[in-house]
Amino acid sequence: MASISDEIKRRRTFAIISHPDAGKTTLTEKLLLFGGAIHIAGAVKSNKIKKTATSDWMDIEKQRGISVATSVMGFNYGDYKINILDTPGHQDFAEDTYRTLTAVDSVIIVVDVAKGVEQQTRKLMEVCRMRNTPVIIFVNKLDREGRDPFEILDELESELKITVRPLSWPINIGAKFKGVYNIYEHSLDLFTPNKQKVSERVEIDDINDKAIDEAVGETDASKLRDDLELIEGVYPEFNVSEYLNGSLAPVFFGSALNTFGVKELLDCFVKIAPSPKPVNAEERQINPEEEPFTGFVFKIHANMDPNHRSCIAFVKVCSGKFERNANYKHIRTGKMMRFAAPTAFMAQKKSIVDEAFPGDIVGIPDTGNFKIGDTLTSGEELHFKGLPSFSPEMFKYIENTDPMKSKQLEKGIQQLMDEGVAQLFINQFNGRKLIGTVGQLQFEVIQYRLLHEYGAQCRWEPVSLHKACWIESDDNDALEAFKKRKHQFMAIDRDGRDVFLADSGYVLTMAQNDFPKIRFHFSSEF
C-alpha cells in the first residue's frame, strides 16, 4: 500500500489560464491525449468533425465555442496523478477563475504568439503573484505567423512582472516553422503538421551535432546556435527553487492544435511542478501529510447531468485521506455528513471514488447543503479563507415572464446563485430581485440556463447602479440612521447582510464622507 505521503508526492494539481482564444482548451485536450484519457482530440474549431472539446460540455459553451464553467479532469501520466482545472478565459467569468486558483498548486499560462500578453492574462497573473503560485508559460500557435520569440520574452517579463527562462526554442515560426529545440533535455523535435499524432524526435548529443544541420538546414541550424548562445548569455540559469517560489517562469514554445511541443511541456512539468502544499486556514496552517481529512468547497455546479436536477459541490482535499461513506463534519452548519457517491471527473464523465488524497478534487452531490467556501473536516473546527465574492458592477432586475413557472424560476435562480455565477440582492424598498454580475455575458448565460435547464422564462429590466457594497458598523444607531436615510438604496444579500446600492461614484464617496462610522466593503470577506 502506498502511504499518504507517497500519494501526495505524485499529485500535480494545476489550472490552465489564458485570454480567450489563446488555445487553452485545445492544450487541455492534448494533455489528456498524452494521459490516455481521451483517444482522439475533438477538433474544436472544425465543423466537419461534429466533436466539441472534451472539457466544454454545457450547451451554451458548444454554441459559443467558449468555456464558461471550470472543468475538472484527472488522469494518470507515468507515475504521476494529474488534476487539471480548465478555467474560463472570458473576463465575464473572472470570478470563477479567481476561486479556482485557490484550489491549485501551480499554473500554466497560455499565450498566443501573435497577440502576446492580453489584459485578462495580466489580471490572472496578479492573482498568482498574490499567492506566489509557480507559473509555466506556453507560447502557442507557432505554426501561424507571429512575433519574434525574443520580443515575446521581453513582453512576458514586462507585462507579467516575472523573470522568464526559455526551456525550449522554436526554429522559425509560421509557414517556415521547422520545429523546437528542447533546451531542458537537449533534444530536437521536428514539426509535421498533424492534429492527431506526435512529431518525430531527432536524437542529438549536443548543440553542435551535425544531425541538426541535416534536419533543418545549415542556415537555420547556425541561427539556432546563435539564439541559444544569446539565451545562455541573457537569461538566468533555470533554477527549480526560484520557479517554485513564484519568481521565475520557464517558457515553452509549440502548437497545441498540432500536438506539437506539448509533450515536452508535460514531461518537464511533472518533474518540476510542486505537489500539494500546506494550506492556510483562519485557525492554523494545515499540512497535507496530517492524518485527519480536511477540504473546502471552491465551486458548485448545477446540472452536471441535465436529466437529474442535481448540483455538485467540488471539494479540494487539503489533508488526510477522503473516504467514501466516512463521517465528516460540515463546519458552517455543525452537522455530520457522509457521502455515498463521491465522484472524480473526466470532464462530465464521472466515476464513483472510494478514496481521494490531498490535491485531488472530489465531486459531492449537493441538495442545497453547501456554499462556496464551506469547510469539511474529520471533526476539527477549521475555516479555510480566500474565496471572496467581489462587488458586482452590472445590475438588472429579474422578472418572471411565465407566472405558471414561478417555482421553477425560484429554484433555478437559487441553484445558479449557489454556483457563484452571479449575486442576488433583494431590494428592501420594493422587494424586487436584483442580479449583479461582473460582465454582460453572465446575464445571457443565466437566461439561457434558466430556460433550458429549469424550463423557466425570465426577462431583464435595466437599472442604473454604480456598485453594490456590503456595509457594517459597530455603532448600531449610526447603521440604522444610514439605512433610514438611504432606504431606497438598501438591499440584503443571500446571507441577509446589508448591502448599499450606490447609483454613482459620487454618491458612494459622499456616503463614505457623511457616515464615518460605517465601513464599506467591496468584497464579501470581511
Please report, rounded to a whole number, the percentage of residues in the chain having pLDDT higher than 90.
7
Q: What is the pLDDT of residue 45?
A: 36
Rounded-to-integer distance, Cα 214 and Cα 179, Å: 13
pLDDT tier for residue 137 given thresholds of 50, 70 and 90 = very high
Residue 2's beta-bridge partner residues? none
Question: What letter would DSSP give residue 404?
Answer: G
Rounded-to-integer distance, Cα 515 and Cα 526, Å: 19
Measured in whole angstroms, the distance separating CA 522 from the mean position of its chain's CA atoms is 22
Would you state the cell numbers that stand for residue 498, as one nine-digit string? Answer: 446589508
| Residue 433 DSSP SS3 | strand
Place of cell 436584483: 434
Cα distances from 520 to residues 216, 413, 433, in angstroms, run 63, 27, 22
Type of residue at 507: V
Rounded-to-integer distance, Cα 71 and Cα 58, Å: 10
Question: What confidence tens digit (pLDDT) does each residue in 435-470 have?
Answer: 988 777 778 878 888 888 788 888 899 888 888 888
Task: Classify strands 11-18 and 80-86 as parallel, antiparallel or unpaired.
Answer: parallel
Q: What is the pLDDT of residue 41?
A: 43
Mean pLDDT comparison of 36-40, 135-139, 168-172, highest-scoring range: 135-139
Rounded-to-integer distance, Cα 489 and Cα 484, Å: 10
Residue 106's beta-bridge partner residues? 14
Would you state the cell numbers that stand for residue 88, as one nine-digit string? Answer: 474560463
List the one residue out of 28, 134, 24, 104 whose CA is nearest residue 314: 104
Q: What is the pLDDT of residue 383?
A: 83
List the one residue out of 227, 225, 216 whose CA is nearest residue 190: 216
**What is the average pLDDT across 176-195?**
75
Type of residue at 212: I
Average pLDDT, the chain: 80
**What is the average pLDDT across 113-120?**
82
| Residue 389 DSSP SS3 | coil
| Residue 489 DSSP SS3 | helix
Place of cell 541550424: 221
* Contact indicator for 361, 104 with CB cutoff of 8 Å: no
List the one residue out of 112, 110, 62 whose CA is nearest residue 86: 110
Place of cell 441535465: 306
List the one residue out of 165, 363, 148, 152 whose CA is nearest residue 247: 165
Measured in whole angstroms, the distance separating CA 132 from the mean position of its chain's CA atoms is 16
Greater confidence (421 vs 388) lies with 421
Rounded-to-integer distance, Cα 354 and Cα 348, Å: 19
**What is the average pLDDT across 174-203?**
71
Q: What is the pLDDT of residue 193?
A: 59
Greater confidence (495 vs 302) lies with 495
Please report, rounded to a whole number, the percentage of residues in the chain having pLDDT higher than 70.
82
Q: What is the pLDDT of residue 299?
A: 80
Quick check: 218 pLDDT over 60? Answer: yes
Question: What confidence tens digit (pLDDT) does each residue in 278-298 have?
Answer: 888 888 888 888 899 999 888
* CATH superfamily entry for domain 394-521: Peptide chain release factor 3, domain III (3.30.70.3280)
**What is the average pLDDT across 249-256?**
89
Q: What is the pLDDT of residue 390?
A: 66
* H-type alpha helices, 134-276: 149-160, 210-216, 218-234, 240-244, 262-272
pLDDT tier for residue 195 given thresholds of 50, 70 and 90 = low
Residue 359, by phi and psi: left (phi above 0), alpha (psi -120 to 50) or beta?
A: left
Q: What is the pLDDT of residue 206?
A: 67
CATH topology of domain 279-377: Rossmann fold (3.40.50)
162: number of Cβ within 10 Å = 18
- The domain locations on the chain are 16-71+89-272, 279-377, 394-521
Question: What confidence tens digit (pLDDT) does each residue in 408-440 have?
Answer: 898 888 878 877 778 899 998 888 999 988 777
Cα distances from 30 to residues 36, 56, 106, 226, in angstroms, run 10, 14, 19, 31
* Contact indicator for 472, 498 with CB cutoff of 8 Å: yes
Cα distances from 518 to residues 192, 470, 492, 515, 522, in angstroms, run 64, 10, 16, 6, 13
Same CATH fold, 279-377 and 16-71+89-272? Answer: yes
Quick check: 199 pLDDT over 80? Answer: no
**What is the average pLDDT across 472-488?**
90
pLDDT tier for residue 50 given thresholds of 50, 70 and 90 = very low
Question: What confidence tens digit (pLDDT) does each residue in 164-175 have?
Answer: 998 888 888 777
Rounded-to-integer distance, Cα 438 and Cα 404, Å: 31
Question: What confidence tens digit (pLDDT) does each residue in 329-366 have?
Answer: 998 888 898 888 888 766 446 677 888 889 888 888 87
Write phi, then psi, for 100 (nearest 5 degrees): -60, -35
Beta strands in 268-360 (DSSP E): 279-280, 285-286, 294-302, 311-319, 322-323, 327-330, 335-338, 343-346, 349-352, 355-356
| Residue 93 DSSP SS3 | helix
350: number of Cβ within 10 Å = 17
Span of 3-7, 81-85, 108-112, 348-352 with lowest mean pLDDT? 348-352
Task: Classify strands 343-346 and 349-352 as parallel, antiparallel or unpaired.
Answer: antiparallel
List the one residue out of 382, 188, 386 whose CA is nearest residue 294: 382
Greater confidence (481 vs 72) lies with 481
Task: Classify strands 163-166 and 168-171 as parallel, antiparallel or unpaired.
Answer: unpaired
Greater confidence (368 vs 143) lies with 143
Greater confidence (260 vs 242) lies with 242
| Residue 430 DSSP SS3 | coil
Task: Classify strands 327-330 and 335-338 as parallel, antiparallel or unpaired.
Answer: antiparallel
Rounded-to-integer distance, Cα 454 and Cα 460, Å: 17
pLDDT tier for residue 77 given thresholds of 50, 70 and 90 = confident
Quick check: 55 pLDDT over 80? Answer: no
Rounded-to-integer distance, Cα 327 and Cα 292, Å: 12
* CATH superfamily entry for domain 16-71+89-272: P-loop containing nucleotide triphosphate hydrolases (3.40.50.300)
Residue 514 sits at the vertex; the CA angle it makes with 517 and 471, to the nearest 5 degrees, is 45
Task: Classify strands 187-190 and 179-182 as parallel, antiparallel or unpaired.
Answer: antiparallel
Residue-by-residue DSSP string for 112-171? ETTTBS-HHHHHHHHHHHHTT--EEEEEE-TTS----HHHHHHHHHHHHTSEEEESEEEE
Greater confidence (483 vs 127) lies with 483
